[in-house]
Amino acid sequence: MAREQWGTKLGFMLAAMGSAVGLGNIWRFSFVAGNNGGGAFLLLYLGCVFLIGIPLLLTEVSIGRKAKSDVVGSYQKLAPKTPWFFTGFFGIFSAFLILSFYAVVAGWSLYYFFHYITGDFFQAPGEGGFGAVFGGFISQGWQPLFWTALFMAMVIFIVVSGVKRGIETANKIFMPLLALLLIVLAVFSLSLDGAMEGLKFLFQPDWSAFSKPSIYVQALGELFSLSLGMGALLTYGSYLSDDKKLPGAAIGIGLMDTFFAVISGLVIFPAVFAFSIDPSSGPPLVFITLPTIFEQMPLGGIVGLIFFFALSLAALSSAISILEVPTAYFMRLFNWTRKKSSITVGSIMFFLGIFVSLGFGVWSGVTPIGDRNILDSMDYIASNILLPLGGLSMALFVGWYFRKSTALKAVDLKDDLFGGVWYGIVKFIVPVVILIIFVSSL
Ligand code: PHE
């Protein structure tokens, strides 16, 4: 059977953006930016996107497009009888870890979305506000698992429908819709009295931040939110035909990911500061702080509805790309159909998700790594160890295993200034930089 392909290059780009733009962009990026020098951080991050993110993105996609195979198969094909294919196993392993907790959090988002549809969450039901609502919900046994299962079922449904009919079609709808929803919310948030404070938090440059080493590590660490290192973009790249040129696509994907992160900041921080609330990040920000603000805001019920719809869309489009990594691998390895492979993989991930979910309830005392609960431990292994190793290995593979002419041809660059700069970055700078982030995060 012929390998599946994207219908259009735009379809591929939207799918790759869908992968990159996820929970991380919405609840982490703008908070990290605000706390690390605002506008100064944004400039530094943009520099990192151009200097490291886009070159590495180009590298990852090119491996898949050249080999036309999954994360493991690509290395076996391009470098037979060498251990490079272990890079693929880092990816498969991180896909299992990441999606099993991503689906739990996405399930929470669906739960909130549902309760905004019914209107139940226009005001926090019961005593204790949304802190109590959220704490009470995630610590239950079955309820959160129902929403996680529902989310996984949607992810599996899209992946089962195929690369073009499922993944591409879904992202062609989701990404423009997500952009529209976030822009509407940002305009509304900016119109609130006191929104200026939020803009200052996000954008006012504090140049002195450049003297702190932590800002560089934070900016570099954010790069992995481009979905690099797992093989999601490699796998997506494997469905591209050779006549679709890569450099422009990589720049577009990198820039759009940053755009979505900044727009999310424009949704969240003007509102947070308009209501004089201390910003935080992560789950407490979206599941406690924001609903508390929405309940005091004019039209807040509608804003909440749109926000949790957008959050669920962003999570869904990323989750699809994560499920596709092991799905493609098992399809080839066992000669399974797409349906059998994605249902099997998705079910295993859901099963792992049960542990994650119970980690907020009956197993809240279980802390596998340091004082981290089950979700944070899995996130730690995947984001701090496996993804950096995956990204490092991809850069070394293209920079050192390929000849220069092969590497340049793989990414559609010539041996000119651009090509030379890209090659130097992938060969020398990316490995050094990843090692720095890696060591400093351990
Ligand atoms: N980039 C996604 C986010 O920011 C998560 C993700 C990580 C997706 C790795 C695919 C691979 O939420």
pLDDT bucket at 221, cuts 50 / 70 / 90 = confident
Measured by CA distance, the residue closest to atom 11 of ligand 1 is 227
- pLDDT(126) > 90: no
- pLDDT(217) > 80: yes
Q: Please, are residues 270 and 16 in contact by the beta-carbon 8 Å criterion?
A: no
- pLDDT(1) > 70: no
Give me the pLDDT at residue 383, please. 86
Q: How far, in Å, is the centroid of ligand 1 from the Cα of 408? A: 27
Ligand 1 probe mutation, 318, 349, 394, most atoms within 8 A of CB:
318
Q: Please, are residues 266 and 197 in contact by the beta-carbon 8 Å criterion?
A: no
In a domain, 424, yes or no: no
Q: How far, in Å, is the centroid of ligand 1 from the Cα of 316? A: 11
Give me the pLDDT at residue 397, please. 97
H helices, E strands: number in the chain: 23, 0
Output the average pLDDT for the chain. Answer: 94
In a domain, 179, yes or no: yes
* Mean predicted confidence (pLDDT) in 43-59: 95
| Distance between CA atoms of residues 399 and 55, nearest Å | 11
Instruction: Quick: pLDDT tens for 296-343.
Output: 998 999 999 999 999 999 999 999 999 999 999 999 999 999 999 999
Ligand 1 probe mutation, 175, 227, 281, most atoms within 8 A of CB:
227
In a domain, 372, yes or no: no
Q: How far, in Å, is the centroid of ligand 1 from the Cα of 320? A: 10
In a domain, 226, yes or no: yes
Q: Which tokens hold the place of 137?
A: 């919900």
Of the CA atoms within 13 Å of residue 361, those in its CB half-sphere come to 17
Closest ligand 1 atom to the C-alpha of 20? 1
Question: 317 CB less than 6 Å from ligand 1?
Answer: no
Question: 20 CB less than 6 Å from ligand 1?
Answer: yes
In a domain, 422, yes or no: no
* Mean predicted confidence (pLDDT) in 177-206: 94
* Mean predicted confidence (pLDDT) in 377-395: 92
Q: In this structure, what CATH number is given to the domain that contains residue 359?
A: 1.10.4160.10
Quote the number of domains for the chain: 1
Give me the pLDDT at residue 183, please. 97
Question: 23 CB less than 6 Å from ligand 1?
Answer: yes
In a domain, 177, yes or no: yes
Question: 230 CB less than 6 Å from ligand 1?
Answer: yes
Q: How many Cβ atoms sit within 10 Å of the Cβ of residue 293?
A: 21
Alpha carbon distances (Å) from 38 to 26, 35, 43, 192 = 16, 7, 9, 21
* Mean predicted confidence (pLDDT) in 165-174: 98
In a domain, 1, yes or no: no
Give me the pLDDT at residue 34, please. 87
Give me the pLDDT at residue 222, please. 86
* Mean predicted confidence (pLDDT) in 270-289: 89
Give me the pLDDT at residue 31, please. 85
Q: Is 162 left (phi over 0), alpha (psi -120 to 50) or beta?
A: left
Task: Give me the domain span that covers residue 54.
Answer: 9-366
Question: 388 CB less than 6 Å from ligand 1?
Answer: no
Question: 232 CB less than 6 Å from ligand 1?
Answer: yes
In a domain, 113, yes or no: yes
Question: Of the given ranges (5-19, 149-163, 224-238, 369-383), which has the lowest mean pLDDT?
Answer: 369-383
* Mean predicted confidence (pLDDT) in 150-165: 98
